[in-house]
Chains A and B, each alone.
Chain A
Amino acid sequence: MEAFKDLVNTFSSPTILFTVTLASFFFIFPPSDWFDKWHRRLGLYLLWTKKGFIIITIGMLGFFIVGLGDANFRSIVLKPDNVPISGLIFLLFFFTWLSMRQAYRNDERMEAGEKPDEYYEPPNDKALVWPDLVYVEFISLILFSAFLMVWSVGLPAPIEEPANPTESPNPAKAPWYFLGLQELLVYFDPWLAGVVFPSLIIVGLMAIPFLDRNPEGSGYYSYKNRKFAIAMFMFGWLILWNMLIIVGTFLRGPNWNFFGPFEYWDIHKLEPLTNINLSEFVFVKWLQTGLPDNILIREMWGFVVLGIYFVILPPLLAKTLLKRFYDNLGSFRYAIFVVLLLTTILLPIKMYLRWIFNLKYIIAIPEYFFNI
């Protein structure tokens, strides 16, 4: 048991967890034919069958039930604040599974020359509002109200000590839905993590219908027709948003230190803070001089790197990897698409740079609160 807990704790460390998830992710949600081939070969498509659902659900349930035997796990998971989030993990899986199963079934149907499941012949291609839909909604409303009452009585409000303006709780956590963003604060300056990224996420979501004008798969679930789009979206949604929320909720403890699910949240745990900026890498480590006084000269290398990333890389990609997109989207929409894509990828890149090189900022101008 202890060995299992240690294994889980080790596996939950951010580097391993993120790397493993990242490495396996595109085999589960294949963005291209090559990945799809391995997806089939590894049998991962079985995830989206009833058997897959049962196995994964039992696995997750089992993990929680076994885990609850551990005092540390219990104190985190059963904290009234966190109970709904544990529930959301199951819901997240359930709805992902539901849509993916439907998509796969439709894919199969269409391969067999049938129409997708959601297709109805006219005049049946409509929703029956009264009384069918309204009635069902009404019943759901009653049941849900009953559920809420049971919940509110059974799990009282998590009242804590009287608020103290001079003492922030440790760890100080944002509301659960913002914990993904808070996690980004570890790797990015607040103006990026707190302002630019959330704006870009909203703008990006709004831009989707303008960027992705592929009519195939519209109005019904399917995967085959829009592998890349779905894989990319799922990457952003599951990894960069939901996984970071789970990490932020369950694995971040006092002083925002990282704790495995079975680890005691020891306020005294210390992690070495030895992160350095790119400018220090270049001037101090490699050139072995001091930092230049001129800010622009000092941060020149960061500008160069980001310049390459955001200015040189897009046209190169347009000619190579993303040629298909460039051809489809045209230069303007391609430009928007590629900037959003590169920004998204910047996040894992920055995380790895931090873990591997202890890189703090690529451009660090704290004098003007400009750090990237």
Chain B
Amino acid sequence: MHQSQERHYNILKLNKWFAISSLLFTFIWLLVFANDFNRQWKPYQKTFRSLEIEQIRKDLESADKELNVNEEFAFVSSELKVAENELASNEEKLNVFQVGIDTLDAERYRRNQLYQFSKALYDAQKYTVEQAIAGHGDEQAAKAKLFKLKTETQVFKLDLETIEAMLEKEEASVKRIRSSVKAAKDNVGRVRRNKDLLERRLKKTDPEAMSFANKISNIVRDLPVLDFIDPYYEVKQVVVNDLKDDLIYLDVPKVDRCMTCHMGIDKPGFEDAAQPYTTHPDLEKYVSPNSAHPMNKFGCTTCHMGRGRGTDFISTVHYPDSEQQMKEWEDKYHWHKLHHWDQPMLPMKYIEAGCLKCHSGNMPVNGAEKLSLGMSIIERGGCFGCHQMDRWDGNTKAGPALTKIASKTNKNWVVKWINQPRSFREETWMPHFFGNTNNSDEASVNRTNQEIHAITAYLFDQSEEFKLSKRTVRGDAENGRMLVQSLGCLGCHKLEAEQIEITTAQSITREQGPALTGLGSKTSASWIYEWVRNPAAYHPETKMPNLRITKQEASDIASFLVQDTHDEFDSNTFPQVDEEELNAVVVDFLGQNKRKSQVDEKLATMTLDEKLHFAGEKLIGQYGCYSCHDISGFENRKPIGTSLNIEASKLITKLDFGYFHDDIPHTKFDWFFTKVKDPRLFDMIPQKDGSLDLKIKKPLDKLRMPDFGLSDNEIEAVVTVVMGLVKDEIAEAKRPVQDERQMAIEAGEQLLHSNNCLGCHMLDGRGGAIQPTIGTWLGELAGTSASEDASVVQNFSPPMLDTEGKKVQPEWLLEFIKDPSMIRPHLQVRMPTFNFTDEEINILIRYFQLKDEQTLVYEKPHSASKASSLSKAGSVIQDLGACNNCHFYGSTKPKQSAQTWAPNLTLTKERLRPDWVVDWLRDPQAIMPGTKMPAPYLPVDEPIEDVRSAWGKDVAKLHPNGETMLMALRDYLWSLDGRKDVSSIVKKHLKEEGYGFIEEDEEDEDW
């Protein structure tokens, strides 16, 4: 130590400080590395690796077992053994060859080098010569040298080629000796290819199966810091360039890293593994490379939402499906919602929202039941009336026209109905505007009662005259009841409040029209009589079709429907008009653009009726009644609600959580749920005791959205749709191909849906909600044995529409839709006459045609003559097949009773397509499962002599070709002529003899 030096501090002490701080620094530096090295996803990858090893080993075992019993493998293995033995016996010979080859190869190498060098000199000399020709150097000498080099090179080349030829010959000999072994090996390899692949995979994955060197590198590649080169455990990702993450004014390509932890998502075999290793539940549709939505082209967050770039549980913004799951996650993962990410992953209950982005054109969206239900609810509820949604542009209004309301009902009923629609009909789609969370206090009720009077007064003031004609025939209520049950009314209406546990896209088809309850309290028999006979006369836009109901039938139906009254509703009273309260309403509206003095002046001059009329008009505008109903005076009003076109892309900051910030989870879907559940809630302030208090708001400033009384399941369905309304621009390549077929299908599905065709018909396994009610009717008609037999019920239900495009001729379909005629004589249910435009009919025909891939616009009509031998053969087959048991042949009635009757065969040639008829005859069950039609018996297996004697020569000619026999039947059908319309025969028969059910009831007398 240099004690002489001046020191302010003790240097030893400083050294100690330095040592301590350096150690501390090093320690923290290591901690930083450790922190960087320890990623949440790594343990998942490690676990998955062991799962994968387990799976490969299992697969390997079964592959082994398979090979052990595989005869081919045993054969090729023994072949290999034989070949190898043979090779062993030739060992000496091979050795000799090998020595020769080695020597020759050495010589070839030497000669090749000589040639290459010589050629290089020659090439270089070519340049020198060219330079000399251009005037640089001695041309003569250069050319001489070039010539010499050329000769030399050629000599070397020849030498080389000689030795190469010798070498090839020797090698060929060796190859010949080895060839049988190689062939045998190839064969073995082909048979055990699967096992080899598995073994290769195992060697890559399982350290135990690795070579020593690979074992070392397996460890080294994942060491801290070194793991930047080529680690086994790494962040995995897909980059999808044409799908974007919306970062507000900035679209960045989607980068999804979900598979970093969800490693089994695209690998079959992990279906039962725990999360996050599970295989995707539907690899056929999603994720796998051959599906419609492969992972590398669509990523994950395109449908699931969330933050694809995240690599831990929180930062990817997982979102729980239920409160219980939320608790679990909080315990297990310390889960909380990442506050700053607007699009958390969709919980499973809303998962189908992702489908809507691309498939909004379809209805229903295939495989997305909840979404389809939500879309149906939006149509039934008329959400699009107040909330602009382009998807539903042009849809007709959800409610009935009120332009002729005075002819339908009375003011007393209307006020009570507007006040509480569900007190009249539990399941009505008319929502509650009054008695809601923000207007149930006494002051509000006093006011809204007067508002209801005003609205009603306006509606009746504006009501046009609608003449109800006198019923000329007396109605029979009991017959009316049977008619309502059998004509098909119940495809769209319910007859009584039916408790459905959970609404589905299927069950909601029976809510196309209102439930037919309490009509006696609401309207008159005359009105119903008028309405059912021609709905469009009262309401031109109505979706209710015309069932071609006769005067007698209409009268019966009317008599039946008015029988049902709602006594409790009728006995309720509603407060009278109170001018003082009403004045307050009028003053509020007048005050919107007038000074107080002007308001007072105006008010003084108004009569009570004027006040009611004025307030009513303003209130209808205020509440947006015109959004669902046609009301005179409101023809061109704009919707009152906020547009929902890109609602789910709205920033969450634009949603006002009001005083419920802490009570509702901070997500868009929870807000939407709350909003639909209790639309007026955000006008309230929650109190400590759980009650609610009103915010200070003027009546006209209060929230106006009505309460639809939906169940939680229904609300979830609606929210699913809303969550799918996003502004994402999906690249063309990622959307369903918008070709002619797709467009025709979308348009057709929409038409089918809005006219509720699937309320009666079944198509693609959907629809046919009417069937249970047909069963009920059958039960009354024919006893429980018929109603409980599904095939009988189906037989009496509207036909399936599967393969309709292949089945019927477009021209016929056109005529049929325009003016339906009888096809199935045993059916009571009627195909209605819709007021379709030509355009709509074309949509329908194109839909069926293109759906079944019928692309020809025009086809050569099929024709067959009675005299042809094919027709003759067909005639024999139909005769022996007893087709006449069920089918009409023109005016010839079927032999069996009416319950098994089937279409008139003379209709066939203009109705059906010939190819389809053959398909149909071959196996009716394949086309229409459950049909009563049996496949005709064809004598293909009988000896030809028997056929000739029993079936005649025309059939024998076709023997034993069943296919031509079917064609013969078809040609026979095409040769048939006769009466086409058998409806009067049917009517007469049913009236006289009934259906012929064994347990017939007396009621059938009416038929």
**B9 contacts across to A, CB distance below 8 A:** 132, 135-136
Whether B8 contacts A142 by the Cβ 8 Å rule is no
Whether B340 contacts A128 by the Cβ 8 Å rule is no
Task: Select from chain B the residue with minimum beta-carbon distance to A170.
Answer: B653
Task: Select from chain A the residue with minimum beta-carbon distance to B248.
Answer: A164
Q: Is B88 in contact with chain A by the CB < 8 A criterion?
A: no
**B329 contacts across to A, CB distance below 8 A:** none
- Please judge, given known A-B contacts A161-B341, A161-B342, A162-B247, whether A146 and B35 are in contact too, CB under 8 Å: no
Question: Which listed residue (A132, A135, A153, A159) contacts B18, Cβ 8 A?
Answer: A135
Q: Is A149 in contact with chain B by the CB < 8 A criterion?
A: yes
Q: Is B935 in contact with chain A by the CB < 8 A criterion?
A: no
Whether A153 contacts B21 by the Cβ 8 Å rule is no
Query: How many angstroms between the C-alpha atoms of A136 and B15 in the bound complex?
Result: 10
- Please judge, given known A-B contacts A139-B14, A146-B28, whether A132 and B21 are in contact too, CB under 8 Å: no
Query: How many angstroms between the C-alpha atoms of A54 and B247 in the bound complex?
Result: 50
Q: Is B223 in contact with chain A by the CB < 8 A criterion?
A: no
Tell me the residues in window 162-183 of chain A with beta carbons closer than 8 Å to chain B beta carbons: 162-167
User: Shortest distance in angstroms between B649's beta carbon and chain A's nearest beta carbon?
Assistant: 12
**B29 contacts across to A, CB distance below 8 A:** 146, 149
Question: Which listed residue (A145, A153, A163, A165) contacts B25, Cβ 8 A?
Answer: A145
Question: Which listed residue (B7, B18, B35, B340) contacts A139, Cβ 8 A?
Answer: B18
Whether B21 contacts A143 by the Cβ 8 Å rule is yes
Q: Is A367 in contact with chain B by the CB < 8 A criterion?
A: no
Task: Select from chain A the residue with minimum beta-carbon distance to B246.
Answer: A162
User: Shortest distance in angstroms between A72's beta carbon and chain B's nearest beta carbon?
Assistant: 12
- Please judge, given known A-B contacts A150-B28, A153-B35, whether A142 and B22 are in contact too, CB under 8 Å: yes
Task: Select from chain A the residue with minimum beta-carbon distance to B654.
Answer: A167
**B11 contacts across to A, CB distance below 8 A:** 131, 135
Q: Is A138 in contact with chain B by the CB < 8 A criterion?
A: yes
Task: Select from chain A the residue with minimum beta-carbon distance to B653.
Answer: A167
Q: Is B17 in contact with chain A by the CB < 8 A criterion?
A: yes
Question: Which listed residue (B14, B22, B248) contacts A162, Cβ 8 A?
Answer: B248
Q: Is A160 in contact with chain B by the CB < 8 A criterion?
A: yes
Q: Is B124 in contact with chain A by the CB < 8 A criterion?
A: no
* B: contact size bracket: 20 to 34
Task: Select from chain A the residue with minimum beta-carbon distance to B245.
Answer: A162
Query: How many angstroms between the C-alpha atoms of A139 and B19 in the bound complex?
Result: 9
**B35 contacts across to A, CB distance below 8 A:** 153
Q: Is B209 in contact with chain A by the CB < 8 A criterion?
A: no
Task: Select from chain A the residue with minimum beta-carbon distance to B250.
Answer: A162
Whether B6 contacts A128 by the Cβ 8 Å rule is yes
**A162 contacts across to B, CB distance below 8 A:** 247-248, 250
**B32 contacts across to A, CB distance below 8 A:** 149, 153
Whether A153 contacts B31 by the Cβ 8 Å rule is yes
User: Shortest distance in angstroms between B785's beta carbon and chain A's nearest beta carbon?
Assistant: 66
**B340 contacts across to A, CB distance below 8 A:** 159-161
Whether B341 contacts A139 by the Cβ 8 Å rule is no
Q: Is B212 in contact with chain A by the CB < 8 A criterion?
A: no
Whether B248 contacts A163 by the Cβ 8 Å rule is yes
Whether B7 contacts A128 by the Cβ 8 Å rule is yes
Q: Is B664 in contact with chain A by the CB < 8 A criterion?
A: no
Q: Per-position contact with B for A39-79: 1 when CB-CB < 8 Å, else 0?
A: 00000000000000000000000000000000000000000
User: Shortest distance in angstroms between B29's beta carbon and chain A's nearest beta carbon?
Assistant: 7
Q: Is B651 in contact with chain A by the CB < 8 A criterion?
A: yes
Query: How many angstroms between the C-alpha atoms of A163 and B248 in the bound complex?
Result: 7
Tell me the residues in window 630-671 of chain B with beta carbons closer than 8 Å to chain A beta carbons: 651, 653
Q: Is B24 in contact with chain A by the CB < 8 A criterion?
A: yes
User: Shortest distance in angstroms between B414's beta carbon and chain A's nearest beta carbon?
Assistant: 39
User: Shortest distance in angstroms between B511's beta carbon and chain A's nearest beta carbon?
Assistant: 40
Q: Is B228 in contact with chain A by the CB < 8 A criterion?
A: no
**A164 contacts across to B, CB distance below 8 A:** 248-249, 651
Task: Select from chain B the residue with minimum beta-carbon distance to A158.
Answer: B340
**A128 contacts across to B, CB distance below 8 A:** 6-8
- Please judge, given known A-B contacts A135-B14, A161-B342, whether A142 and B249 are in contact too, CB under 8 Å: no
Whether B25 contacts A146 by the Cβ 8 Å rule is yes
Query: How many angstroms between the C-alpha atoms of A151 and B1003 in the bound complex?
Result: 89
Query: How many angstroms between the C-alpha atoms of A318 and B299 in the bound complex?
Result: 78
User: Shortest distance in angstroms between B682's beta carbon and chain A's nearest beta carbon?
Assistant: 12
User: Shortest distance in angstroms between A127's beta carbon and chain B's nearest beta carbon?
Assistant: 8
Q: Per-position contact with A for B194-211: 1 when CB-CB < 8 Å, else 0?
A: 000000000000000000
Question: Which listed residue (B21, B250, B651) contacts A142, Cβ 8 A?
Answer: B21
Query: How many angstroms between the C-alpha atoms of A132 and B11 in the bound complex?
Result: 8
Whether B14 contacts A146 by the Cβ 8 Å rule is no
Query: How many angstroms between the C-alpha atoms of A180 and B21 in the bound complex?
Result: 37
Q: Per-position contact with A for B366-396: 1 when CB-CB < 8 Å, else 0?
A: 0000000000000000000000000000000
Q: Per-position contact with B for A121-144: 1 when CB-CB < 8 Å, else 0?
A: 000000010011001101100110
Whether A142 contacts B25 by the Cβ 8 Å rule is yes
From B11, B21, B342, residue with most partner A Cβ within 10 Å: B21
Query: How many angstroms between the C-alpha atoms of A136 and B17 in the bound complex?
Result: 9
User: Shortest distance in angstroms between B180's beta carbon and chain A's nearest beta carbon?
Assistant: 67
Query: How many angstroms between the C-alpha atoms of A146 and B30 in the bound complex?
Result: 11
Task: Select from chain B the residue with minimum beta-carbon distance to A268.
Answer: B658
Tell me the residues in window 1-51 of chain B with beta carbons closer than 8 Å to chain A beta carbons: 6-9, 11, 14, 17-18, 21-22, 24-25, 28-29, 31-32, 35
User: Shortest distance in angstroms between B727's beta carbon and chain A's nearest beta carbon?
Assistant: 14
Query: How many angstroms between the C-alpha atoms of A64 and B247 in the bound complex?
Result: 37
User: Shortest distance in angstroms between B336's beta carbon and chain A's nearest beta carbon?
Assistant: 13
Query: How many angstroms between the C-alpha atoms of A138 and B341 in the bound complex?
Result: 43
**A163 contacts across to B, CB distance below 8 A:** 247-248
**B249 contacts across to A, CB distance below 8 A:** 164-166
Query: How many angstroms between the C-alpha atoms of A165 and B651 in the bound complex?
Result: 13
Whether B17 contacts A139 by the Cβ 8 Å rule is yes
Whether B21 contacts A146 by the Cβ 8 Å rule is yes
**B28 contacts across to A, CB distance below 8 A:** 146, 149-150
User: Shortest distance in angstroms between A104's beta carbon and chain B's nearest beta carbon?
Assistant: 25
**A161 contacts across to B, CB distance below 8 A:** 340-342
User: Shortest distance in angstroms between A118's beta carbon and chain B's nearest beta carbon?
Assistant: 14
- Please judge, given known A-B contacts A132-B9, A138-B18, whether A167 and B25 are in contact too, CB under 8 Å: no
Whether A132 contacts B7 by the Cβ 8 Å rule is yes
User: Shortest distance in angstroms between A294's beta carbon and chain B's nearest beta carbon?
Assistant: 33
**B653 contacts across to A, CB distance below 8 A:** 167
User: Shortest distance in angstroms between B684's beta carbon and chain A's nearest beta carbon?
Assistant: 14
Query: How many angstroms between the C-alpha atoms of A142 and B29 in the bound complex?
Result: 11
User: Shortest distance in angstroms between B663's beta carbon and chain A's nearest beta carbon?
Assistant: 14
**A149 contacts across to B, CB distance below 8 A:** 28-29, 31-32
**B250 contacts across to A, CB distance below 8 A:** 162
User: Shortest distance in angstroms between B33's beta carbon and chain A's nearest beta carbon?
Assistant: 11
User: Shortest distance in angstroms between A139's beta carbon and chain B's nearest beta carbon?
Assistant: 5
User: Shortest distance in angstroms between B3's beta carbon and chain A's nearest beta carbon?
Assistant: 15
User: Shortest distance in angstroms between A166's beta carbon and chain B's nearest beta carbon?
Assistant: 8
**A165 contacts across to B, CB distance below 8 A:** 248-249
- Please judge, given known A-B contacts A128-B7, A149-B32, whether A139 and B248 are in contact too, CB under 8 Å: no
A128-B8, A142-B18, A146-B21 provided; 10 other pairs, C-beta below 8 A?
Answer: A132-B8, A142-B22, A142-B24, A143-B25, A146-B28, A150-B28, A153-B31, A161-B342, A163-B247, A166-B249
Residues of A within 8 A of B (CB): 128, 131-132, 135-136, 138-139, 142-143, 145-146, 149-150, 153, 159-167
A-B contact pairs, 13 of them (CB 8 A): A135-B11, A136-B14, A138-B18, A139-B21, A145-B25, A153-B35, A159-B340, A161-B341, A162-B248, A162-B250, A163-B247, A164-B248, A167-B653
